[in-house]
Amino acid sequence: MDSTARHILNLHRRGALRGALGLAALAALQPARAQPGMPIFRNYPFTLGVASGDPLPDGVVLWTRLATDPLASMGGLPHVAFPVTWEVSEDDRFTRIIARGEELARPELGFSIHAEVTGLAAAHSYFYRFRSGREVSQTGRTRTAPAADARPERLRFVSAGCQHLEQGHFTAWRHVAEEADLDFVFHSGDYIYEYRGVLPSQPSWGPILRTHQGDEIHTLDHYRQRYAQYHADPDLMAAHAAHPFIMSFDDHEVDNDWAGPHSEEAGLPPFPIAVPPEVFALRKQAAFQAWWENMPLRRAQLPRGPEITAYRRLDYGRLARLHVLDTRSWRDDQPCGGTPAVQRPCDALGRPDQQMLGTAQEAWLMDGMAGATWNILAQQVLVMPRDLPGGMVNVDKWDGTPAARERLLRGIADRRLGGAVVLTGDSHNAWVADLKLGDAIVATEFAATSITSLGDGSETLASTPELLSRNPHIHFHSARRGYSLHDATPARMAVMQRVVPYVTRPGAPREDRGVFVTEAGRPGIQRG
């Protein structure tokens, strides 16, 4: 761990300790002693930590959410707005503060703060914190993007997701917090899991080590409580404090395997009672508002009812352009039955008008895929085709919309993007594969495994040898937990699959599983 990262973690630990020790002292304070306009909290209000996200060359989003009792309704706070100030400094002691401002933590937005800071220097690291009343948050560290015309020599980032709290400890996030010199962390989704215990459709799926509070969530208050339970995890809190995050969502932020207006509960076993689209829209509305409230996102991503525009583009000079995609909101319902996701092929797989991104997002992506050495498609579900044993198809992945995948890969090929890279989560396994259009390799896919989902995992599955034999374009597969570390230069991108040997108990060491390289202008995998 570098010295700055170690200091961030120590600051985080001291802040958490101060919150615990300050409980008794603050309980003795009376609101009458407060200065006008200064709130007095009986408990420490920054229990959910701090985060930053979506870096631009001149600024970044700073996030926190007030909660004196995180798992209580409305975080234990009265239904009034609280003023919260933020500070950005060039040093961790805040002797060189270069920007400050004030926001209101409003009850309508779950007492969350999304400060869109501007006026910062490009490609520069900063420290930040929040204040409300007499209370000071933990210290976070963030970093801005390079200037638009810059030619950076290096871009270093992590891709990770799928963090089922019930199925393991978030040790991998502690290792991410200790990574040095990261420009950002891409979170591929499944930040929370919406149900409790096991899925009705998969009753043997994963161990239960920690328990979600409450049953399956459907309302805004319950989604907020679920996020609070996750944010309170000290390893996840440390990762957010150490690096800026670029957030996306997958299915479990709303409902397992949802697709566009369609709930998983479609009137087929194991869900015999269907949820109508107009009722499911109410659940989406609650889920998206809670997701926005709990992520370091800009006001542009604030949902409008059950709809949200989460796809967006972030540039890192002329080295990389990151396209953050949404593979849930505008996709077709899964074909061939759809529940469970692995099905026998059906005629619907041959439809030429299949949608994964929707027409508007697909056109936006095609219009913007240029202008950088690396065009990185940061999305959720596996693009790579997989010839599964028994001829089965996982219709929740891009295998369920092969025509949409062909349009995507043809668009990359037509634009002669020699540095097209796809980032993926969702499958709870690590994969590295060539993406082909016919016989030509046009892009490279790196799928990160899960942080905890499916428990400890294993080096390989019983089906791995047959799967790799049937799919020669797939170069690597691992069923361990962890994340992917990406190191890009103008010449190449090297990717390390970093894993932990177990998550069913805390304190797992970090282990590496090989380096995979793709060269700029020459798509395809080479072993590093």
Mean pLDDT of 206-210: 86
Supply the CATH number for residue 43's domain: 2.60.40.380
Quick check: 201 pLDDT over 90? no
Instruction: Give the H or E element holding residue 289.
Output: helix 277-293
| pLDDT on residue 1 | 57
Identify whether 361 is part of a domain: yes
| pLDDT on residue 199 | 72
Same domain, 136 and 162: no
| pLDDT on residue 171 | 98
| pLDDT on residue 528 | 61
| pLDDT on residue 338 | 87
Identify whether 289 is part of a domain: no
Same domain, 497 and 353: yes
Residues 256-299: tens digit of each pLDDT: 999 999 998 877 667 778 999 999 999 999 999 999 999 999 99
Residues 381-423: tens digit of each pLDDT: 999 999 999 999 999 999 999 999 999 999 999 999 989 999 9
For residue 88, the one-letter residue type is: V
Quick check: 22 pLDDT over 60? no
Quick check: 99 pLDDT over 70? yes
Residues 307-342: tens digit of each pLDDT: 999 999 999 999 999 999 999 999 999 999 988 899
- How many Å apart are CA 497 and CA 478, to the nearest integer? 9
Identify whether 414 is part of a domain: yes
Identify whether 35 is part of a domain: yes
Same domain, 82 and 204: no
Going by their DSSP bridges, the two strands 522-527 and 82-89 should be labelled as unpaired
Q: How many CB atoms lie within 10 A of CB 206?
A: 22
Same domain, 113 and 196: no
* Exposed / middle / buried, residue 93 (Cβ in 10 Å: 0-12, 13-18, 19+): exposed
Mean pLDDT of 169-197: 97
Identify whether 286 is part of a domain: no
Tally of CA atoms within 13 A in the half-sphere of 365 that contains its CB? 30
Confidence band of 157 (pLDDT split at 50, 70, 90): very high
Same domain, 44 and 192: no
Identify whether 492 is part of a domain: yes
Mean pLDDT of 68-75: 97
Identify whether 299 is part of a domain: no
Same domain, 356 and 471: yes
How many structural domains compose the chain? 2
Which residue do the tokens 């993406």 mark? Answer: 435
Contact of 424 with 435, CB cutoff 8 Å: no
Quick check: 6 pLDDT over 60? no
Which of 114, 143, 172 corresponds to the end of one domain? 143
Mean pLDDT of 113-127: 98
Same domain, 374 and 423: yes
Residues 340-375: tens digit of each pLDDT: 899 999 999 999 999 999 999 999 999 999 989 999
Enter the DSSP assignment of 168. Answer: -
Residues 121-152: tens digit of each pLDDT: 999 999 999 999 999 999 999 999 999 999 99
Same domain, 459 and 479: yes
* Exposed / middle / buried, residue 494 (Cβ in 10 Å: 0-12, 13-18, 19+): middle
Same domain, 207 and 327: yes
Mean pLDDT of 205-226: 93
Supply the CATH number for residue 390's domain: 3.60.21.70
Identify whether 392 is part of a domain: yes
Which of 222, 357, 215, 211 lies closest to 283 in space, CA to CA? 222
Core vs surface per residue 61-78: b (16+ CB within 10 A) or e:
bbbbbbbbebbeebbbbe
Which of 118, 143, 168 corresponds to the end of one domain? 143
* Percentage of the chain modeled with pLDDT above 90: 85
For 259, the token pair is 């697709």
| pLDDT on residue 47 | 98
For residue 495, the one-letter residue type is: V
Same domain, 317 and 198: yes
Q: Which domain holds residue 73?
A: 3-143
| pLDDT on residue 39 | 85
Which of 143, 167, 194 corresponds to the end of one domain? 143
- How many Å apart are CA 343 and CA 116, to the nearest integer? 45
Quick check: 198 pLDDT over 80? no
| pLDDT on residue 392 | 96
Same domain, 367 and 404: yes
| pLDDT on residue 200 | 66
Same domain, 249 and 395: yes
More confident: 358 or 33: 358
Quick check: 8 pLDDT over 60? no
